[in-house]
């Protein structure tokens, strides 16, 4: 498990277990916050049953790397914010670069990603304050636990 990953504990998934949820990607921070507000309103009566981690928003800097036909890797850097909504995961992603990353440009693309991370965190914090939504925000990645026979 990578640093910052959070996996649900306690439930055992079997082939007859509960069906997997959806992975929903919001197009804007505003849509992301609207879905979070709906979740909070819907689950208000169940608050005692939800752990703080199930209610939290997680924001992480991520990157994917693949080979290119050049001597340098093709790197996609992005910021992703995620929260759990029942069995579903809702996320917002902001891509900061998708290019062959040369050693001399890596520092600039990392800096651009760091700035985007700070912007996304600030937009989410501001939106939570405006809507009076009280949920913790953590730096890290929330993902579905892997299920037998496939990826989660």
Per the structure, the count of domains in the chain is 1
Q: Are 93 and 71 contacting, i.e. CB atoms less than 8 angstroms apart?
A: no
Range of the domain at 31: 23-140
What pLDDT is recorded for position 61?
A: 95
Task: Assess if residue 148 is contained within a domain.
Answer: no
Q: Which parts of the chain fold into alpha helices (H)?
A: 29-42, 52-55, 103-131
Task: Assess if residue 45 is contained within a domain.
Answer: yes
27: its two tokens: 């197009």
Cα–Cα distance for residue pair 79/84, rounded to 1 Å: 17
Task: Assess if residue 134 is contained within a domain.
Answer: yes
Q: How confident is the model at residue 111 (pLDDT cuts 50, 70, 90)?
A: very high
12: its two tokens: 């055992």
Q: How confident is the model at residue 44 (pLDDT cuts 50, 70, 90)?
A: low
CA angle 135, 137, 141 (to 5 degrees): 125
92: its two tokens: 């917002």
Task: Assess if residue 151 is contained within a domain.
Answer: no
Q: How confident is the model at residue 5 (pLDDT cuts 50, 70, 90)?
A: very low
Task: Assess if residue 145 is contained within a domain.
Answer: no
Task: Assess if residue 152 is contained within a domain.
Answer: no
pLDDT in tens, 48-102: 555 666 788 999 999 998 887 777 788 999 999 999 888 888 999 999 999 888 8
Other beta carbons within 10 Å of 44: 8
Task: Assess if residue 1 is contained within a domain.
Answer: no
Task: Assess if residue 121 is contained within a domain.
Answer: yes
The answer, yes or no, to whether residue 150 has pLDDT greater than 50, is no
């Amino acid at each position: 498990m990578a640093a910052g990953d959070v996996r649900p504990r306690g439930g055992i998934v079997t082939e007859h277990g509960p069906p997997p949820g959806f992975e929903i990607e919001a197009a804007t921070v505003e849509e992301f916050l609207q879905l979070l507000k709906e979740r909070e309103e819907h689950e208000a009566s169940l608050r005692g049953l939800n752990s703080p981690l199930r209610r939290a928003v997680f924001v992480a800097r991520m990157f994917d790397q693949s080979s290119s036909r050049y001597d340098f890797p093709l790197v996609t850097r992005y910021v992703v914010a995620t929260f759990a909504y029942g069995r579903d995961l809702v996320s917002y992603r902001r891509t900061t670069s998708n290019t062959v990353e040369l050693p001399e440009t890596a520092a600039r693309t990392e800096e651009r990603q760091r700035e985007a991370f700070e912007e996304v965190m600030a937009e989410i914090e501001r939106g939570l304050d405006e809507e009076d939504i009280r949920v913790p925000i953590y730096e890290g990645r929330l993902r579905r636990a892997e299920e037998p026979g496939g990826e989660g």
